[in-house]
Amino acid sequence: MAFGRSKRAESSADEFKMGVGNPKASAKAMEKRNRKALNERTAEERAESVSDDQQSPVRGRDSDKLDARHRTTGERSARAGSGARGARRRRHPRDTHNIKLFVVLLCIVAFSIFMFYPPATKITQGLDIQGGLSVIMTATHADNSAVTSDEMDQAVSILTARVNTLGASEATVQLDGNDSVLIQIPGVEDAETALSTIGATGTLEFVDLDNITDQSEVTAIENGQTGQTLDSSTYTAFMTGDSITKVSVGQESTGSAYYAVNLTLDGDGTKAFSDTSTALYQTKGQIAILLDGVVQSAPAVESAITNGQVAISGNYTLDSAKNLQTILESGALPVTLTFSQSQVVGPTLGQQSLTAGVLAAGVGMLVVMIYLLFFYEGLGVLTAANMGVFAALYLGILATLSHFGLFALSLSGLAGIVLTIGMAADSSILVLERFREEIRMGRSVKAASITGVKHGIGTSIDADVVTFVSAIVLFAVAVGSVKGFGLTLALGIVCDIITMLLFKAPAIRLLAPGQIARHPGFWGIKGDLAEGERIAAANGVRTASRASKKKGGAANA
């Protein structure tokens, strides 16, 4: 009886201090060595051991460890039975925490799916995918003087008003440097008309033909020619577009196929036009109407116009009349804008590019999953599920931002998405390798799921933060397509961190004590366990699994 008790106490002591005991030592000396070994363990392992003894489903083994130090043989048997029954009634606090994380993740994933499905309509497409017009205009002065920031702000406001009248959604007008403006208009069909509308300076002038010094131009105007550009040094305007208070479009006459642009003048403009028309109507003189120096029309004055109502005619169609209305209503630009770069993307080309980009992203994710399944077996299945959660969260965030008008997917943004797929896989591999490394060092599967996963995620987050800072800098400093790349890269990093904390870590920690420990072959850690036992045996240390085997053999004997 004494011999059996000594063996069980020895087995428990071996398991507690992970070493080989002395079977010839007295029970008192054995208890002293066990207490000393326990004190030498780290605070983390000691807290884990105490927590496991008190709350975990121990199946009798952890109860034996505790009883070996404090109970007699009879007390130990009673304690083992009651401890196992109590463990079944209580759940480990860490397991409860991990389950709560899963519930939170499930709610987030459900919301993400609701937001992005179907993705073709829920995620806004950018100019290079949807098709449209992208131009960069450079501001200058005729006298080559420097352009001020106030003039650029005014120019952006005027151009924004002109672009909005084109009816394009998601159009953007923004400064590009100190003297340039970037204009992007997705979905525009008539690029030439859009360019002429947004690029016009918008300076409207009314000129008495008698005040034009270039006689050849006067003769051409009198003969009904329009569209020619007059040198600003050859004429003097008696009124400009600054005197206009209202602009409208109407037919030239009842039943006419052409339209006129009707102007309402302020007090100064009304007086100036009244004085000039009064002087010209007796001789049927003409008034040339110039827009940015180009002759639009030159109607003859049939009577004095004293009511401040002026009509600009010139065989305008409805669309061309509305474009002129847009230019006059927005006002004259304070600077001269010239096109330094323009790009027109057709919708067919954009959709082909989108298809190719989505295919690349899908193939990339598929190859990554196959790689993980091949090299990590059961753990690879877990990582493949992690990639699925990552994709759902990513699309949900993009759809949410699109819903509030804060995001439009571009080809460069699609490249950022493909890159983050690889980064998410890299983070998963880092966590798995650290988990397996802890097992090869001799730790139990459960201990490795805590310390190994913790250290792996910490290292991965450190690397992600560095990339995240770079992505934020790109988004804040760059313009155009590079800005979209930085945004999608930053969002992908955020999704990677969320999936590691809310899915990968809880999943491994919940499965490690049960499924992974009982089926190491399926989960791909059988070789790691064997390596851990081999190293422990070489160092004269008995692992928990070896101690359990010895204990089982002694019990059978």
Residue 137 DSSP SS3: strand
Q: How confident is the model at residue 436, as a pLDDT? A: 92
As a three-state string, the secondary structure of 63-110 is HHHHHHHHCCHHHHHHHHHHHHHHHHHCCCHHHHHHHHHHHHHHHHHH
pLDDT exceeds 50 at position 552: no
CB 183 within 8 A of CB 195: no
| Cα–Cα dist 448/456, whole Å | 11
- pLDDT tens-digit readout, 112-165: 999 988 887 888 887 778 778 888 889 888 788 888 988 898 888 888 887 877
Does residue 108 surpass a pLDDT of 90? yes
pLDDT exceeding 70 applies to what percent of the chain? 78
Give the DSSP per-residue string, 297-317. Answer: E--B--S---SSEEEEEEEE-
| Predicted local distance difference test score (pLDDT) of residue 549 | 47
When pLDDT is averaged across residues 368-381 and rounded to a whole number, the result is 87
Inform me whether the pLDDT recorded for 38 exceeds 60. no
Report pLDDT for 460: 92
Tokens 């009198």 belong to 222
466, 488 Cβ separation under 8 angstroms: no
Checking if the pLDDT of 478 tops 60, the result is: yes
pLDDT greater than 80 at residue 20 = no
pLDDT at 31: 53
Domain 132-345 belongs in CATH node 1.10.286.10: no
Domain regions of the chain by residue span: 2-90, 94-125+347-524, 132-345
Domain 94-125+347-524 has what CATH class?
Answer: mainly alpha
SS3 readout for 338-386: EEEEEEEECHHHHHHHHHHHHHHHHHHHHHHHHHHHHHHHHHHHHHHHH
Q: Which tops the pLDDT comparison, 297 or 42?
A: 297
Q: Which tokens in the block code for residue 363?
A: 């193939």
DSSP label at 502? I
Model confidence, pTM: 0.59
Residue (of 501, 500, 509, 503) closest to 449 by Cα position = 509
Domains 94-125+347-524 and 132-345 share a fold: no
Calpha distance 544→16 (Å, rounded): 8
- Which helix H or strand E contains 183, and what residues bound it? strand 180-186
pLDDT band of residue 91 (cuts 50, 70, 90) is low
DSSP 8-state secondary structure symbol assigned to residue 446: H
pLDDT in tens, 344-364: 776 666 678 788 888 888 888
Tens of pLDDT along 492-550? 999 999 999 999 999 999 998 888 999 999 998 988 888 888 887 877 655 555 444 44
d(C-alpha 127, C-alpha 442), whole Å: 56
Residue 266 DSSP label:
-
